Amino acid sequence: MLKQKHHNPLGLHQNPAFTQAVEVPADASLVFIGGQNGIDGSGAVVGDSPYEQATKALENVKTAVEAAGGSAADIAKWTILVTDREHLNSGFAAFAEFWDQAIPPPAITVQIVSGLADASFLVEIEAIAAIQP
């Protein structure tokens, strides 16, 4: 795991679910994981609920990071897209189960969008990982 520095400066909101800024050492290999949806290897949607789809999307991101030689702990930044504000709590619950609470959380951006590439997609998650070469 890379020695990222997590910054939560005074004057900014403090939240245990995310870090305000993550500093990545210059010798890190950056891996950009494209938007992952709640789909299996065949492209089939795994469920109708935002929780099921978020859980699978997180697993897909983890698979991509591991293929690059890293782990979920190497993720410095998440971008999470949801199609409805009502999906946020389900997404946060899936993330809380996925993320090792002993590791400082990454920076996170959450966006509510009018739609994703497929109308059945409720969640899309992309990430940037910083892996020690």
CATH number of the domain encompassing residue 54 = 3.30.1330.40
Q: Is the pLDDT of residue 2 over 70?
A: no
Q: Give the C-alpha separation, 51 to 71, whole Å.
A: 22
Classify residue 62: in a domain, yes or no: yes
Residue 38 DSSP label: S
Q: Which residue segment(s) compose the domain that 98 sits in?
A: 27-131
Per-residue pLDDT of 35-45, as tens digits, reads 999 999 999 99
pLDDT grade, residue 76 (50/70/90)? Answer: very high
Q: Does residue 21 lie in a domain region? A: no
Band (pLDDT 50/70/90 cuts) for residue 121 is: very high
What pLDDT was estimated at residue 39?
Answer: 96
Residue 102's Cβ-side half-sphere holds a number of Cα atoms within 13 Å equal to: 0
| Any domain includes 49 | yes
Number of domains observed in the structure of the chain: 1
CB atoms inside a 10 Å sphere around CB 83 = 18
Structural domain contains residue 9: no
The verdict on residue 45 lying in a domain is yes
Angstrom distance (rounded) from CA 41 to CA 61: 13
Using CA atoms of 23, 91, 120, 43 in order, give the dihedral in degrees to the nearest 10.
Answer: 60
In a domain? residue 123: yes
Task: Let me know if residue 81 belongs to a domain.
Answer: yes
Q: Are 106 and 77 in contact (CB under 8 A)?
A: yes
Strands of the sheet containing 123-131, edge to edge, are 29-36, 123-131, 75-82, 107-112
Compute the distance between CA of residue 17 and CA of residue 34 in angstroms, rounded to an integer: 22
Task: For residue 87, tell me if it sits in a domain.
Answer: yes
